[in-house]
Amino acid sequence: MGVWDWAVFVIYYVSFVAIVIGYAWTVVLFVTGGRYLRVLRERPAGSEADYLWVFMVPALNEGVTIADSVERLRSVAATRKIILVINDGSDDDTGDVLASIAGADLEVLTRTAPHARVGKAAALNAAFEHVERTILAKPAYSDIDPSRVIFGIVDADGRLAPEAPATVARHFEDPEVGGVQVHVHIYNQTSWLTRMQGLEFRIFGGLYQVGRSWWGTAFLGGNGQFNRMTALRSVASDEGPWSHYLTEDQELGLRCLAHGWRGEHEPNTQVAQQGLNDLRRLYRQRGRWFQGNLQVLKDFGRLNAPRLHGIRRLDVAISLGLPILQMIVGLALVLAIVLAVFFNVDYLPWGSPLLVVFFVQLSVGPTFLGVMVVGRGKGLAGVGSTLTAAIPYLLYTWLMWPVVGIGLWKQLRGSTTWAKTEREVVAPSAA
């Protein structure tokens, strides 16, 4: 085969297989997600009073948002809770803001050089150790069963729903559940870009996370994740539960699944966070996330864990392999455009209308299926919501394709440093 023959082979066969895998598994997750939601509606409510809720908030130069986040955590309805802010070497007014809102319900762990600013995982591990050795050693918590201690991670711009503990508690009534992720909502949807980010999170939670919850293989997100203390202990290294990945939450979820813990998604409560109104900053953030997904691929061997088998192993394998499928499809797209523009090779089989329709729906079908979660359970009104959102979101997914190249390039360069996401000033809270 010549060079162009190989190029055509990659475009029309390898990418075809990658697209079919993604399409088929999207359909599977849509079906299992519907089953999970029906079962969840019938699941009895848990009791948040049976647990100690430890809310950990990593904060590095978060002076513009930290007061709002703490104030909202104070309004969260939990009988027993600890709010622990990790001031990770901030050089803005974060420390002053925290001092101005001090109270008996707020713990502040201040980290300084050389231990500070060495990654989010290090900050979380330090906080976990502080809770174990200092806070839980207090007489007030001497009666706490570690399996009843739940760690909730809330970003410094996070706004956790007040009813979250009561809603999440029902999942932890199952002793095999080690982690629960709640829905992520974008609260500053003031532009087309932030509205699409809100829809993106809604699709990720309502389709992929909910679908995987049927098998207990839902992954954790960075913001709004809840972890059972015994689950964290079971996967902890000498440094702590979290490892130094750009997506430390995904890697933690993988280790928990490999140790036999279930991961579930809770769609009926949420944590709200800021979206990005600047495309450059969004590319930088999502490029970092994609690179983190590539980093986790080196842990693919964890799929051989004896307690991760059958359909659960297959689902995790496909979830971890999605970056590879995206790179294959992205490369095929670039090659197809080059061949069509410079070498007069047809982009689509224009001579056959049925084949054109088939390939078009194959490429856009998963996106439209994802948007259908917007209208799930709403009848005809839901159909209208889906149709209204489909085209704008399809354009957004095309706009985000450079993220694949950005993340891959940074990974090939061996770059593991990243600039934290800049926050927007928030209006005073009215909690």
Note the Cα 127 to chain centre separation in Å.
21
In a domain, 98, yes or no: yes
The CATH number linked to 156 is 3.90.550.10
Look up the domain containing 246 and give its range: 49-187+216-267+293-305
Per-residue model confidence as pLDDT tens digits over 283-301: 999 999 999 999 999 999 9
Least confident of 64-78, 258-272, 366-380: 366-380
In a domain, 350, yes or no: no
Q: Residue 311 phi/psi, 5° resolution?
A: -65, -30
Between CA 221 and CA 90 the distance in angstroms is 24
* Beta strand residue intervals within 172-299, DSSP E: 177-186, 225-228, 262-273
What Rg value do the Cα atoms of the chain yield, rounded? 23
Q: Structure tokens of 203?
A: 């699709």
In a domain, 2, yes or no: no
Per-residue model confidence as pLDDT tens digits over 190-208: 999 999 999 999 999 999 9
DSSP β-ladder status, 81-88 and 106-111: parallel
In a domain, 113, yes or no: yes
Q: Can you give 380-395 as a three-state secondary structure string?
A: HHHHHHHHHHHHHHHH
- pLDDT of amino acid 429: 45
Residue 358's pLDDT band (cuts 50, 70, 90) = confident
Helices 15-42 & 353-371 angle (0-180, nearest 10): 30
Q: Structure tokens of 290?
A: 């994609």
Nearest CA among 245, 205, 409 for reference residue 327:
409
Between CA 17 and CA 10 the distance in angstroms is 10
Residue 34's pLDDT band (cuts 50, 70, 90) = very high
Between CA 262 and CA 228 the distance in angstroms is 11
In a domain, 144, yes or no: yes
Per-residue model confidence as pLDDT tens digits over 125-165: 999 999 999 999 999 898 899 999 999 999 988 899 999 99
- pLDDT of residue 347 exceeding 80, the answer is no
Q: Structure tokens of 255?
A: 């280790």
This prediction's pTM: 0.90
Per-residue model confidence as pLDDT tens digits over 224-282: 999 999 999 999 999 999 998 999 999 999 999 999 999 999 999 999 999 999 999 99
Q: Which residue, chain included where needed, has tokens 């080196």?
A: 298
In a domain, 284, yes or no: no
Least confident of 115-119, 253-257, 370-374: 370-374
Tally of domains within the chain: 1
- pLDDT of amino acid 339: 78
In a domain, 142, yes or no: yes
In a domain, 20, yes or no: no
